[in-house]
Amino acid sequence: MRWVRTLGLAAGVVAAANVASAQVGFPTKAVHLFVPYPAGGAVDILARTLGDELSKNWGQPVIVENRPGAGGVVASQALATSAPDGYTLIVVASGHATNPLLYPKIPYDTFKDFTPICLLASSPNILLVRADSPYKTLADLLAQARAKPGSLSYGMAGNGTSTHLAGELLKSLAKVEIVAISYKGGAPAMNDLLGGQIPMSFNNGPESVGHISAGTVRALGVTTAKRAPFLPDVPTMAEAGVAGYDTGVWWGLVGPAGMPANVLAQLSSDFIAALKAPTVRDRLNTLGATPIGSLPKEFDAVIRADYEKWGPIIKAAGMKLE
């Protein structure tokens, strides 16, 4: 993805941010990192991996707080009302950009009430079935969906999340009727898939690779235009028969609006440095996530671009959430 190259470009801010660090002495206490989904999901894994690295670098604890609900809205609202001092942050998924399109009564302004800090990583979503599922390929699944419209449901990580949009894109492009089942995160959806409560699920790479390796689930397709390096034998959704299918998920670091410029610069620099750490990169690559790293303005541009991209699609689908 185009953001990968920003990791190197962003390295130039490190020296300037170190000067700012000397001026403000940040951080001098624990940093709280909100995760808008339950423990065990992709965002949680990413937050805890980076939190461990930054705790070592800062000499201060990074406390990860899981605050699931409403596709990330609950945690984002809590962040929006927090002090803009850098001690309360959130790791958001790409649904952060589309929530204002989906929730007509969203309790904050996505573009005015937050400070984008750093685009952290990206991954494809993956369409999964249980290992003993009768659906061996995407074609098998679509044949069932067309033979009995509405008979199949799919699990996803919450209304308006990237996994929800992945399912809706499949419905639109393949012209099938499948039923979305919303969970408070990818991990609960995976649990119900494994338990046989749902026949399929869209999950992020970090939530999926362990189960795929263990042979408990079967991957029918990855949602990006190109195959995932960590799943080279799994076809893309387009290769599997749904032409034009291409979507994925990104994760980024956001703070409240009004953060001091020097604190913002240091946080961007420190998270970029953490993403370069071999332990972090190895962990994310193993989980199927590509480390990125970006400057705040670049991340802001990504959020706005996704808002514009998905707006017409969401409107056409009549997707509105309460």
Residue range 101-141, pLDDT digits in tens: 988 889 999 999 999 999 999 989 999 999 999 999 999 99
What integer pLDDT is reported at residue 97 of this predicted model?
94
pLDDT in tens, 303-321: 999 999 889 888 877 777 7
Taking only the tens place, the pLDDT of each residue in 234-250 is 999 999 999 999 998 89
Mind listing the domains of the chain with CATH numbers?
2-123+248-317 (3.40.190.150), 125-222 (3.40.190.10)
Give the tens place of pLDDT for each residue, 259-300.
999 999 999 999 999 999 999 999 998 888 889 999 999 999
The first and second tokens of residue 227, run together, are 């195959």
Mean pLDDT of the chain: 90
Helix (H) / strand (E) element for 314: namely: helix 296-317
Strands (E) located in 183-316: 200-204, 217-222, 249-256, 290-291
> Looking at residue 1, what is its pLDDT?
46
What strands, in cross-sheet order, belong to the sheet with 249-256? 62-66, 31-35, 88-93, 249-256, 114-123, 290-291
Q: What are the φ and ψ backbone dihedral angles of 210, each rounded to 5 degrees? A: -65, -40
Report pLDDT for 24: 53
CA atoms within 13 A on the CB side of 146: 11
**Contact residues for 103 (Cβ-Cβ < 8 A; gap 6+):** 70, 71, 73, 160, 320, 321, 322
Give the predicted TM-score (pTM) of the model.
0.78
Residue showing tokens 């290992």: 131
Q: What is the pLDDT of residues 69-94, one digit of tens each?
A: 887 899 999 999 999 999 999 999 99
